[in-house]
Amino acid sequence: MIWKWFIFAAMAAVIILAFVLPSPMDPRLSLGPVDAYRIFYFHVPAAWVAALSFMVGMVQSARYLKTKDMDFDRRAVAANRLGMAFSAMALVTGSIFAKMTWGEFWNWSEIREVSIFILLLIYGGYFALRSALSDDEVRATFSAVMTIIFTVAALFLIFVLPRIYPAFSQHPSDTIVDNEGKMSLSPMVALVFGLSMAAFTALYYWLYEITVRGSRYFDKNRLES
Amino acid sequence: MSISSGRGYISYMYQLEVADLSKSFGPRRIFEKVSFSLNTGQGLAITGPNGSGKSTMIHILTGLGRASSGVVRYTHDSNMLSFEEYRNRMSVVTPYHEFYDAMTALENLDFYTRLAGLEVTGQEMMESLRTFGLGERGRDRVAAYSSGMKQRLKYALALLRRPEILLLDEPTAYLDQSGKKGIFDFLDSVKSRALIIIATNEKEEAGFADHVCQLGG
Amino acid sequence: MPTMSVNWAGRILTVFKKEMLSEFRTRYAFNAVIMFSLVTLTVVSFSLGMNRPGPEVMAALFWVVLFFAAASGLAQVFVKEEEARTAGYLRLYAPATAVLVGKIIFNLFLLVCMAVLLVPLFVILLDTVPQNFILFLSGLFLGLIGLSGSTTIIAAIVSRASVKGALFAVLSFPVLLPLLVAAIEITLVSLVGGNFAAAWPPLQLLLAYDVVMITLSIMLFDFIWHM
């Protein structure tokens, strides 16, 4: 397990650079304190990992239904557990940023903010369902089916809501992507941001594998005791 | 291939194979590596003390329950039957299945036979109820039935399907002497053309079986 | 080996008729849904008091009442089968799809009954008259189809769980959210007298949602029913 040290080094570098470098935002265009925009190095990767994790959970659930192999259930649970943690992280960092720049923690018309909140509701429902089912196989199957229903509902939300409310988004990521000068993605910022994305993704993968191995170990011991 | 019609029975050879069947609930092992095979015309008694997994075994054999490992296979001419195929030939009597309280016995029978696609007339349903001593009570709601009457009703439903596979868990539970006699007559009449599995500890019931599968020690 | 043809329409109808018969005699789900919608409506109109909120709020309140009333009773179709231990024979005698579709239709019937009672009360108590009534009814009906189509399978899921009622609402809400957003939008357009063209995008969404969710339920139901 050498490369967990690489994750450590990359994370440490991201954290230091995020605070040492100048803010990624042009001070003339900044809403609120310009340093608030440093959160972008952590908020965006956390949101990305949350979305990635949701997809991993969905794929593993589908594989479980196809094969009925308990290992895929463990993988789905690991993905959803981490997805929940990273969604919470994205939600909290996003709210702090919103308070500093737009003046309020919460805005129901902000689609991305609402989406991540719904994602948390979905995870809450998923784990509530799991704890209410006692048989292992029933629990695995029902929660996998529920994950797929949730995913389809979430697709409806993500792709269709912005069309119904086209005017609502005031989220800065629109401007990061098309780079119209509001947020200056200088080469250095892009590098640190890229490093942060890579480090978060690698961290996620590492945590995911460790969680899966942990629950395998737990289940094996439970059966043998 | 032919289709059974009217009251006539055309019997087919079915085979049930059970190989290395194990079941555990979490860390608790119920039974392990149970194997047997059975043909139409044969009976098997599953015996064993309380908690040895008799009911669990029946539940798995109906196809509704799942084993932890092992194989359950119903075959006909060595073709494996799907769940849909074998449950259409199966009747099940267990303490864990109930009828709809709010409906009468006849409405219940009508409901299940329609669902199964059996063409059964009201006359035949009445006859079936009469066979098990419920002839007068067909229009009563099941809520007003005693445990023994509900048990008889389960056999009335089983009879209507003309089962070729019969799974019974404590077949004479709640029944009085006349009830038991009715059940034994019924078992006698189907024994030659059905594959029968009985989970029981009663000597009299186990007498219908040619083979015994002892669980739990 | 005898083969049996499956008459789907006949079996779905058999399941639906059974639900109607036992519901007519016990009125378990019916009473829950009707009473819950009345209570919620009363709470809403009571707490509004003299205030007369705009059509945006009215459209949202209308669907909030519908959602909670539905959450109170729709799980019954499967919960009562498990509690009365009738699910076993149902599994042994009925094809899974017939059970699901029969129960979706029954839940839809329950919701339509509720809407028949609720809509006039809503108009009277909250003094809100839809200006485009045809559009209002179209949105309402499509919404109710989606409501029963997507939650009946969730009812089957929670029927095996230890905390049924609360779990049903918790699991249904995220699934119903796209439906609620679209339905509220259509109701709003109908309240202010807009035409079908103005409500076309949410109507399309609602239609797609209904078709996708019912298809998905039918595809996934086998996994749940035969556990």
| Angstroms from B68 CA to nearest CA on chain A | 10
The pLDDT tens digits of the residues spanning A19-34 come to 888 877 777 777 778 8
User: Cα-flanking dihedrals φ and ψ of residue B210, to 5°?
Assistant: -90, -20
Contact call for A141 and C205, based on CB within 8 A: no
The pLDDT tens digits of the residues spanning A79-96 come to 999 999 999 999 999 898
| Interval B12-16 mean pLDDT | 86
> What's the pLDDT score for residue A59?
97
- Between helix C76-83 and helix C28-48 the angle, nearest 10°, is 140
Please tell me the distance from the alpha carbon of residue C81 to that of residue A104, in angstroms, as a whole number: 48
| Interval B58-75 mean pLDDT | 92
The pLDDT tens digits of the residues spanning B91-143 come to 999 999 999 999 999 999 999 999 998 889 999 999 999 999 999 999 999 99
| Chain C environment of B1 (Cβ under 8 Å) | 1-3
Determine the 3-state secondary structure of A143 from DSSP.
Answer: helix
Judged against a pLDDT cut of 60, whether residue A130 lies above it is answered with yes
- Reading the block at residue B57, the tokens are 């075994």
Could you identify the residue written with the tokens 């629990």? Answer: A139
Please tell me the distance from the alpha carbon of residue C10 to that of residue C8, in angstroms, as a whole number: 5
Judged against a pLDDT cut of 70, whether residue B39 lies above it is answered with yes
CA triple B161-B164-B166, angle to 5 deg: 85
The answer to whether A67 and A131 have CB atoms below 8 angstroms apart is no
CA triple A165-A167-A169, angle to 5 deg: 90
Q: Where are the alpha helices (DSSP H) in chain C?
A: 8-26, 28-48, 55-73, 76-83, 87-93, 96-126, 133-158, 164-191, 200-225
Judged against a pLDDT cut of 50, whether residue C1 lies above it is answered with no
| Interval A31-45 mean pLDDT | 86
The answer to whether A159 and C184 have CB atoms below 8 angstroms apart is no
Judged against a pLDDT cut of 80, whether residue A183 lies above it is answered with no
* B144 interfaces chain C, CB cutoff of 8 Å: no
The pLDDT tens digits of the residues spanning A50-72 come to 999 999 999 999 999 999 999 99
| Interval A105-112 mean pLDDT | 76
Q: Which residue of B has its CA nearest to A225?
A: B27
The DSSP-derived string for B56-83 is HHHHHHTTSS--SEEEEEEEETTEEPPH
| Chain C environment of A156 (Cβ under 8 Å) | 178, 205, 208-209, 212
Q: Which residue of C has its CA nearest to A134?
A: C161
Judged against a pLDDT cut of 50, whether residue B2 lies above it is answered with no
Residues 79-98 in B contacting C (C-alpha not used; CB under 8 Å):
83-85, 87-88, 90, 92, 94, 96-98
> What's the pLDDT score for residue C5?
57
* A223 interfaces chain B, CB cutoff of 8 Å: yes
> What's the pLDDT score for residue B36?
93
Judged against a pLDDT cut of 60, whether residue A174 lies above it is answered with no
Please tell me the distance from the alpha carbon of residue B157 to that of residue B152, in angstroms, as a whole number: 9
| Chain C environment of A134 (Cβ under 8 Å) | 162
> What's the pLDDT score for residue C49?
81
- Reading the block at residue C91, the tokens are 């599994």
Judged against a pLDDT cut of 60, whether residue A116 lies above it is answered with yes
Mutate to test the interface with B, among C18, C26, C81 (most CBs of B within 10 A): C18
Q: Which residue of B has its CA nearest to A220?
A: B27
Judged against a pLDDT cut of 60, whether residue A182 lies above it is answered with no
**CB count in 10 Å sphere of residue A37:** 24
User: Cα-flanking dihedrals φ and ψ of residue A105, to 5°?
Assistant: -70, -30
Judged against a pLDDT cut of 50, whether residue C68 lies above it is answered with yes
| Chain C environment of B94 (Cβ under 8 Å) | 88
> What's the pLDDT score for residue C29?
87
Judged against a pLDDT cut of 50, whether residue C125 lies above it is answered with yes
Phi-psi label, residue C182: left if phi above 0, alpha if psi -120 to 50, beta otherwise: alpha
> What's the pLDDT score for residue A224?
65
Mean of all residue pLDDT scores within chain A: 85
Q: How far is CA B149 from the centre of its chain?
A: 17
Q: Which chains touch A (3 or more CB pairs under 8 A)?
A: B, C
* B8 interfaces chain C, CB cutoff of 8 Å: no
Mean of all residue pLDDT scores within chain B: 89
Provide the pLDDT confidence category of residue A160 given band limits of 50, 70 and 90: low
**CB count in 10 Å sphere of residue B188:** 10
- Closest CB from B2, B88, B99 relative to C4: B88
Please tell me the distance from the alpha carbon of residue B64 to that of residue B110, in angstroms, as a whole number: 23
- Closest CB from A137, A223, A224 relative to B66: A137
| Angstroms from C201 CA to nearest CA on chain A | 7
Determine the 3-state secondary structure of C140 from DSSP.
Answer: helix
> What's the pLDDT score for residue A178?
40
Judged against a pLDDT cut of 90, whether residue A2 lies above it is answered with no
The pLDDT tens digits of the residues spanning B19-38 come to 999 998 877 889 999 999 99
Question: Could you tell me the strand order of the sheet in which B79-80 lies?
Answer: B28-39, B14-25, B69-76, B79-80
Judged against a pLDDT cut of 90, whether residue A75 lies above it is answered with yes
- Reading the block at residue C140, the tokens are 């309402």
Provide the pLDDT confidence category of residue A103 given band limits of 50, 70 and 90: confident
Provide the pLDDT confidence category of residue C164 given band limits of 50, 70 and 90: confident
Phi-psi label, residue B50: left if phi above 0, alpha if psi -120 to 50, beta otherwise: beta
> What's the pLDDT score for residue C128?
84
- Between helix B105-115 and helix B122-131 the angle, nearest 10°, is 120
Please tell me the distance from the alpha carbon of residue B57 to that of residue B21, in angstroms, as a whole number: 9
Contact call for C1 and B88, based on CB within 8 A: no
How large a percentage of chain B has pLDDT more than 90?
70
Judged against a pLDDT cut of 90, whether residue A11 lies above it is answered with yes
> What's the pLDDT score for residue A225?
58
Judged against a pLDDT cut of 60, whether residue C18 lies above it is answered with yes
| Angstroms from A137 CA to nearest CA on chain B | 9
| Interval C82-96 mean pLDDT | 93
Determine the 3-state secondary structure of A106 from DSSP.
Answer: coil
| Interval C154-166 mean pLDDT | 91
Q: Which chains touch C (3 or more CB pairs under 8 A)?
A: A, B
Contact call for B101 and C89, based on CB within 8 A: no
* C224 interfaces chain A, CB cutoff of 8 Å: yes
